[in-house]
Structure 1
Amino acid sequence: MTETVHVAVYDTLADWEVGHAIAHINKPLWHKHPGRYTVATVGTTREPVTTMGGIRILPDTTLDEVRPDNSAMLILAGNDIWNTGQFSPFTDRARDFLEAGVPVAAICGATGGLALAGLLDDRAHTSNAAEFLAGLGYAGGALYRDEPAVTDRNLITASATAPVEFARAILERLEVFEPHVLESWFKLYGRRDPAGFHELMAG
């Protein structure tokens, strides 16, 4: 049975922040269980959205059709709307996922949206900077970690400068690769060590 990983899409979505994650979830190469996952985009409506890079995306589905019981994970990329009402439907659905024990992964400004919604108050997390979140007046400052990506229970957070670490955390949580394959994958993409490529190709 194929499980769907949902990628939230909205105007000003930071395209590059989720590229490594969704490409390697969707492409079965090196997968532990090829065909286990597929990627689908989810918007507030099915109307096209335009990413920060100018790419127009027609959402596959809508938030009201996506529930924790029909999703493997919700991924939230950075954006310029994280502190507005336009982003609230996504934080509301993230709350539903977390309460149901289904993972949520947020990077860059999306972490700010989660902070404003109170979803970082009781979980270890990271973001672009401690000062960024502190300026929002949220209550989770003591749990901030100055790391590229942090996983606490079913929440993954990451800095805008760490899309590869973000992808690694997502791939690990979903068990897309065997642990040694993930290690080689990160050696290649995270450390830019060509030995990782040779390890991957050797199987």
Structure 2
Amino acid sequence: MKTVYMYVQDTMADWEHGYLMQALSLQAMLKKFKVSFKTVGRTKAPIRTASGITLVPDLSLDELDVTTVAALVLIGGDTWLAKEQADVLTLASKLLQQDALVAAICGATLGLANLGLLDGCPHTSNASFFLSQMSQRYRGQDYYQETVAVRDGQLITASSAGSLLWAKYIIEALELYSEKTVEAWFKYFSTGDAAYYGELMASLSQESR
């Protein structure tokens, strides 16, 4: 079984992965898991998120086996231009070259942009000027999409306002659930309509048989 690895770092915007975690947890209702989930840090030292939560990574970057990666998930934060993030960004580049899934949201897109990984592919972020003003190396302006989330092959990017659609693109890319389940899940969380909750539960029940 491959693993979804979520990179955690100091100042991590810990609200941005909520929908993704909920979606991954639905695997338990199917009584079968297509992917596992682990957190990975630069080291195994505890990190403190933007809202003040202390997290201890399951493993460090040097312990990660790239052959086990189903997806690398990069969450926003204030440190993505820091030298300490070079290793995880190099890993992201390597995984994309190997056609593995990389999903970045909010400030994490800045780290990818600064490495040149967004220069030739459709992508988004908090704003085009966010990338241009924060990174002198960014050359992807012509590929910037004015939307909250973009999937281009195995690269998924999102703004801080795009966590729901971003999560949808991730679970679709991982092929965790049927199209019917994914659509009901997305409509329920985007509208709050209880009818879609019923559709979601019914679809999951069918998938579990």
TM over 0.5: yes
Other-structure match for 1:25: 24
Q: In the alignment, residue 22 of structure 2 is paired with which amino acid?
A: A
Q: TM-score, length-normalised on structure 2?
A: 0.91
Other-structure match for 2:44: 46
Which residue of 94, 101, 104 maps to 2:102?
Answer: 104
Tell whether the 8 Å contact from 1:15 to 1:52 is kept in structure 2 after alignment: yes
Other-structure match for 1:183: 183
In structure 2, C-alpha distance between the alignment counterparts of 1:120 and 1:19, rounded to whole Å: 25
More helix by share: 2
Measure how far apart 1:87 and its partner are: 1.9
Q: Which runs of 4+ in 1 moved over 6 A?
A: none
Other-structure match for 1:117: 115
Other-structure match for 1:9: 8
Measure how far apart 1:67 and its partner are: 3.7
SS at match of 1:15: coil
Measure how far apart 1:29 and its partner are: 4.5
In structure 2, C-alpha distance between the alignment counterparts of 1:91 and 1:197, rounded to whole Å: 37
Distance 1:123 1:30, change over 3 A: farther
Tell whether the 8 Å contact from 1:73 to 1:104 is kept in structure 2 after alignment: yes
Measure how far apart 1:150 and its partner are: 0.3
Other-structure match for 1:64: 62
Measure how far apart 1:27 and its partner are: 3.7
Measure how far apart 1:35 and its partner are: 1.2
Gaps in structure 2 of 5+ consecutive residues: 204-209
For these two proteins, the number of residue pairs brought into alignment is 201
SS at match of 2:150: strand
Superposed CA RMSD: 1.4
Measure how far apart 1:30 and its partner are: 5.5
Q: In the alignment, residue 196 of structure 1 is paired with which amino acid?
A: Y
Q: In the alignment, residue 141 of structure 1 is paired with which amino acid?
A: Q
Gaps in structure 1 of 5+ consecutive residues: none
Write the deviation string for residues 4-45 of structure 1: whole angstroms up to 9, x where unpaired: 1000001111111011112321441565x8211111000011
Aligned-pair identity (%): 39
Distance 1:176 1:30, change over 3 A: farther
In structure 2, C-alpha distance between the alignment counterparts of 1:25 and 1:128, rounded to whole Å: 25
